[in-house]
Amino acid sequence: MEVVRIAVTSPVFGVSKTKLSDCCFVPVRRKKTIVGRKFVFNSTTDFSNRSSFDRKIQAIHLEQVAADKPKSLTGLVKDVDWPSPSDEIPFWKRKFHAHDANTEIPVNIEKDSDLLHVIHVTAEMAPIAKVGGLGDVVTGLARACLLRGHKVDVMLPFYECIQKDNIQELSLMSTYNSYHDGNWIQTNAYSGLVSDIPVIFIEPTNQFFKGEDVYGGSYNELEAYLFFSRACLEWMQVTGTQPDIIHVHEWQTGALPLLYWDMYSYLSLQKPRIVLTIHNMEHYGECRQEQLNKCGLDGSLYATIDKAIDDRTIGHNPERLSLLKGAIVYSNSVVTVSPTYLKETLCSGWLASALLTNHDKYHGILNGIDTVLWNPASDVFLPTNYHAHNTDGKKICKQYLQRGLGLAFEGRVPLVVCISRLVAQKGLHLITHAISHIEKQGGQMIVLGKAPDGRVQRDFEALANLHNKGSTTRILLMYSEELSHMLYAAADMVLVPSIYEPCGLAQMIGMRYGSVPIVRKTGGLADTVFDMDDQSQPEMANGFVFEGIDEGSLSQTLDRAFSYYKDKPIEWEKLVQKVMQIDNSWNKTASKYIDVYNSIRVR
């Protein structure tokens, strides 16, 4: 029998030489992963039938994962620059060859025939000015509509903290004056491209939006966003820009619908119709009448139950307004970010009555994820890429993280990550409990989060001091877009134990990167994650779900997930591949937004 020698140019972990000699093909896929080992092949093998071989090699690989004791990847992967905790520059701050997670834009999306012009007015945009999901949603939805052929712009405050070199083609478009508190403030409007999406940056020449972070500068935030809301309309007015839709988000831009219908529609803006997306009902934009006066409206006119008064403050001195409630009343359509959250908001919370009154124009549309920015097959922040049909690179990502953070990397140990703003909504006591429970169960856990509240930050610092010394837990109290990408890729499981969650992106991003979600059944988590042990819909099963807000419910669910991971490695691998193939992209849900836009547009 003739023997053929082939250089392997893609890692095939866990596949032994003997097994490979029964096979016919070694995949040669990607330039980034180079193994350089030689395997012996039998000349009777059929190299032409690549796809059947791919399947075969995958099957062998899955078998081997079960049969082999996992080994270190050292020696297999020669070109990974393994990090260490003692590196002078932490691995997530190394230079990447692009600032954007991905530069590959899909081209094969079917175009819509009836095209719209949409302008998003927003306080956040990923990746340049992102704090949470709002930034992701604006970028993802804007891109999905652009790819369908629509004209889309995003209007964003020109925060001082935005890194200018992350904006392409930045140029000053116009300088104009916009009203604030009895004065006209000179304001610059810049145009630029962020991740290929056209953005108009609004920069007042006063102190607004100065500071190191998107939120929390030493200016009055409410006044700054009132100014921004009006400055966007003023820009449209002075430049004669009349989009079909002005899409506002959250309380920060909640004054815009009021300003539009009670001021600018009497000037020259007539065509636009307004869509409001509520990403989180907890932030309702508390505002006193005299504060609303600062953007040029008469605050006293809005202090009625059918307009913008905060129902809970009626009869108090002073009564308060809510910019979010005003926006619900004044927008042509209101959307929230998942069908389950829509139901929840109609049943509880003080805004329920306003939403019930406006029920006919209220929609629940599940968020998608931006599969361009979140793509393990091309993500520039990962040490190596991978996809659903070959998840070997994921194992490298796991070991890369483990080594870089000083965690143990020998053996097959479940790694759980939790990437979250550290606020009460996210289930802080459950995150804290998971840290100790996972440690006890012999798993590993990494928390990446930032707490806006000093007390919470200090509590987590104390936890970090306690747990970060060993080789199983890392609590990293910071914001890092790059590290978040690496963590989603490295994780076996992503934990989202929220008390309530309007939609939640972490579980969807996690799945895209092959991390199995463990979530509390609430809001959008209930719409996207279905329990592995739920016999009623096995085809939907994609994670582990618990209902209680007590520690016991979480422990049981973590234990179930760990047993599955440890006892059923073949099924686990299949689950990883299954969750990676679930389509949670904006391509799937953007059409629902376009239907809403079309239902209110004026021709």
How is 236-258 classified by DSSP, letter by letter?
A: HHHHT---SEEEEETGGGTHHHH
Q: Are strands 333-336 and 321-322 parallel, antiparallel or unpaired?
A: unpaired
Q: Which residues between 313 and 372 bind ligand ADP (CB under 6 A)?
A: none
The rounded distance, in Å, linking the Cα atoms of 3 and 85 is 45
Contacts of 265 (CB under 8 A, 6+ apart): none
3-state secondary structure of 178: strand
Query: Any idea of the CA torsion for 259, 262, 265, 271, to the nearest 10 degrees?
Result: 70
CB 264 within 8 A of CB 290: no
Beta carbon nearer to ligand ADP, 121 or 297: 121
Beta carbon nearer to ligand ADP, 449 or 569: 449
Whole-number minimum distance, CB 374 to ligand ADP, in Å?
A: 8
Element (H, E) at 146: helix 133-147
Stretch of 63-71, 166-174, 343-351, 504-512 lying at the interface with ligand ADP (CB under 6 A)? 504-512
Angle, vertex CA 43, rays to CA 39 and CA 47, nearest 5: 80
With binding defined as CB under 6 A, does residue 505 bind ligand ADP? yes
With binding defined as CB under 6 A, does residue 139 bind ligand ADP? no
Beta carbon nearer to ligand ADP, 391 or 515: 515
Stretch of 220-228, 312-320, 478-486, 566-574 lying at the interface with ligand ADP (CB under 6 A)? 478-486
Number of neighbours of residue 567 by Cβ within 10 angstroms? 9
Beta carbon nearer to ligand ADP, 287 or 525: 525
With binding defined as CB under 6 A, does residue 450 bind ligand ADP? yes
Q: What is the DSSP letter of 111?
A: P
Beta carbon nearer to ligand ADP, 80 or 483: 483
The rounded distance, in Å, linking the Cα atoms of 280 and 490 is 29
With binding defined as CB under 6 A, does residue 480 bind ligand ADP? yes
With binding defined as CB under 6 A, does residue 132 bind ligand ADP? yes
Q: Are strands 245-249 and 117-121 parallel, antiparallel or unpaired?
A: parallel
With binding defined as CB under 6 A, does residue 144 bind ligand ADP? no
Please compute Rg for the chain using Cα positions: 26
In the list 112, 262, 286, 481, the residue contacting ligand ADP (rule: CB under 6 A) is 481
Whole-number minimum distance, CB 91 to ligand ADP, in Å?
A: 15
With binding defined as CB under 6 A, does residue 99 bind ligand ADP? no
Element (H, E) at 61: helix 50-67
In the list 10, 358, 479, 570, the residue contacting ligand ADP (rule: CB under 6 A) is 479
With binding defined as CB under 6 A, does residue 278 bind ligand ADP? no
Stretch of 185-193, 233-241, 250-258, 415-423 lying at the interface with ligand ADP (CB under 6 A)? 415-423
The rounded distance, in Å, linking the Cα atoms of 581 and 242 is 40
The rounded distance, in Å, linking the Cα atoms of 262 and 361 is 20
With binding defined as CB under 6 A, does residue 474 bind ligand ADP? no
Binding mask 228-267 for ligand ADP (x = CB under 6 A): ----------------------------------------
Beta carbon nearer to ligand ADP, 383 or 449: 449
Site for ligand ADP (CB under 6 A): how many residues?
19
Number of neighbours of residue 61 by Cβ within 10 angstroms? 18
Beta carbon nearer to ligand ADP, 345 or 484: 484
CB 478 within 8 A of CB 448: yes
Tokens at 513, concatenated: 């990167």
Q: Which residue has the tokens 């992503």?
A: 494
With binding defined as CB under 6 A, does residue 68 bind ligand ADP? no
The rounded distance, in Å, linking the Cα atoms of 65 and 11 is 14
In the list 14, 127, 133, 414, the residue contacting ligand ADP (rule: CB under 6 A) is 133
Residue type at 300?
S
Stretch of 161-169, 227-235, 254-262, 445-453 lying at the interface with ligand ADP (CB under 6 A)? 445-453
Beta carbon nearer to ligand ADP, 488 or 544: 488
Whole-number minimum distance, CB 425 to ligand ADP, in Å?
A: 7
- Helix residue ranges, H only, 316-408: 323-330, 339-347, 352-357, 392-405
Whole-number minimum distance, CB 397 to ligand ADP, in Å?
A: 16
With binding defined as CB under 6 A, does residue 283 bind ligand ADP? no
With binding defined as CB under 6 A, does residue 506 bind ligand ADP? yes
In the list 366, 419, 435, 495, the residue contacting ligand ADP (rule: CB under 6 A) is 419
With binding defined as CB under 6 A, does residue 124 bind ligand ADP? no
With binding defined as CB under 6 A, does residue 420 bind ligand ADP? yes
Q: What Cα–Cα distance (Å) separates residue 64 from each residue in 33, 58, 393?
A: 20, 10, 16
Element (H, E) at 554: helix 551-567
Q: Count the alpha carbons within 13 Å of 534 in the hemisphere toward its beta carbon.
A: 16
Q: Are strands 286-287 and 321-322 parallel, antiparallel or unpaired?
A: antiparallel
Beta carbon nearer to ligand ADP, 77 or 335: 335
Number of neighbours of residue 454 by Cβ within 10 angstroms? 8
Beta carbon nearer to ligand ADP, 14 or 285: 285
With binding defined as CB under 6 A, does residue 421 bind ligand ADP? yes
Under the rule (CB under 6 A), what is the footprint of ligand ADP?
132-134, 136, 419-421, 448-450, 479-481, 484, 503-506, 509
